[in-house]
């Protein structure tokens, strides 16, 4: 595992505007499966059959069964050291934004408040007719596919599938935070899904220093000032420790 460079600790201490982008890898140590890689969901399940609007139109029951299964898997899981470390960062900086691609809600469970969810949230449902969004944390869902209690139309998971636009507000905030930060941390994402994958590049081209935390190289590695190779939870624990040590 990488050592934490002193220059990085100094940059974290000096920064005033910090933006963090997270992906599935940040939740891996909590037990949430990632999408890509050896054990990833896309090895067993086809994104075309489960994570597109066309798939939902063709077979809403199949899509809902998959989401219901994932909700059951995620429900008992707890935030790990990476979620907790990231939550502490928002206290540290006057300008801070956490941008997550994750839909699992674990950042919120860890205490993060200044965050935007680019790909939605698995604990919310949306009416396909009215567009209304509601929280629904029941596991398992009593009826599959679930129907809107007001109009009877089909409900869908409030997540962003391939080919769908990202929520305008969330994307706008994310772009602004990428353009205006001096330190941009990228944690646990393969950085292949756009437009999220463009955010580190935007930050770097606007003068931010980029830090990557990932056990593997990614398309972000060539533009990262620091690449910390290892698991997010373990690296974040060491970062927290190093920050404490240099403080005292």
Catalytic residue positions, numbered:
119
Q: Considering beta carbons, is residue 125 or 182 the nearer one to ligand BJW?
A: 125
Contact between 85 and 11 (Cβ < 8 Å): no
Angle, CA of 89, 11 and 87, to the nearest 5°: 10
Burial 178-192 (b: 16+ CB within 10 A, else e): beebbbbbbbbbbbe
Q: Considering beta carbons, is residue 182 or 212 the nearer one to ligand BJW?
A: 212
222 interacts with ligand BJW by CB under 6 A:
no
Q: Considering beta carbons, is residue 24 or 208 the nearer one to ligand BJW?
A: 24
Among 19, 112, 128, 189, binds ligand BJW (CB under 6 A): 189
Site string for ligand BJW, 149-188 (x = CB under 6 A): ----------xxxxxxx----------------------x
Contact between 111 and 120 (Cβ < 8 Å): no
Beta carbon of residue 176, minimum distance to ligand BJW (angstroms, whole number): 18
Q: Considering beta carbons, is residue 152 or 163 the nearer one to ligand BJW?
A: 163
Beta carbon of residue 84, minimum distance to ligand BJW (angstroms, whole number): 14
Fill in the DSSP letter of residue 154: B
Secondary structure E strands in the chain:
17-22, 95-100, 115-117, 120-127, 133-135, 155-159, 183-187, 209-213, 226-228
107 interacts with ligand BJW by CB under 6 A:
no
Among 129, 143, 192, 207, binds ligand BJW (CB under 6 A): 192
- Helix or strand holding residue 87 (H, E): helix 81-92
Share in percent of the chain as helix, strand, coil (round to 5): 40, 20, 40
Half-sphere exposure for 5 (CA within 13 Å, toward CB) = 11
Residues 6-65 contacting ligand BJW, CB under 6 A: 23-25, 28-29, 34-37, 40, 51
Q: Considering beta carbons, is residue 20 or 24 the nearer one to ligand BJW?
A: 24
Residues near ligand BJW, by CB under 6 A: 23-25, 28-29, 34-37, 40, 51, 101, 103, 119, 159-165, 188-190, 192-195, 214-216, 218, 231-232
């Amino acid at each position: 595992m990488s050592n934490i460079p002193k220059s990085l600790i100094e940059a974290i201490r000096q920064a005033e505007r910090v933006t963090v982008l997270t992906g599935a890898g940040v939740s891996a140590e909590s037990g949430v499966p990632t999408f890509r890689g050896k054990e990833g969901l896309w090895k067993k399940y086809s994104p075309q059959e489960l994570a597109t609007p066309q798939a939902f139109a063709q077979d809403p029951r199949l899509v809902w069964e998959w989401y219901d299964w994932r909700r059951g898997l995620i429900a008992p899981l707890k935030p790990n050291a990476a979620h907790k470390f990231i939550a502490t960062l928002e206290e540290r900086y006057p300008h801070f934004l956490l941008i997550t691609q994750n839909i699992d809600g674990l950042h919120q469970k860890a205490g993060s408040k200044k965050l935007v969810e680019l790909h939605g949230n698995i604990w919310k449902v949306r009416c396909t007719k009215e567009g209304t969004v509601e929280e629904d944390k029941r596991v398992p869902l009593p009826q599959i596919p679930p129907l809107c209690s007001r109009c009877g139309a089909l409900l869908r998971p409030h997540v962003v599938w391939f080919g769908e636009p990202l929520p305008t507000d969330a994307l706008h905030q994310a772009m602004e935070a990428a353009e205006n930060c001096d330190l941009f941390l990228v944690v646990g994402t393969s950085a292949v899904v756009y437009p999220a994958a463009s955010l580190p590049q935007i930050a770097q081209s606007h003068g931010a220093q980029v830090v990557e935390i990932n056990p593997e190289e990614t398309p972000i590695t060539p533009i990262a000032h620091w690449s910390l190779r290892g698991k997010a939870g373990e690296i974040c624990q060491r970062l927290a420790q190093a920050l404490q040590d240099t403080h005292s």
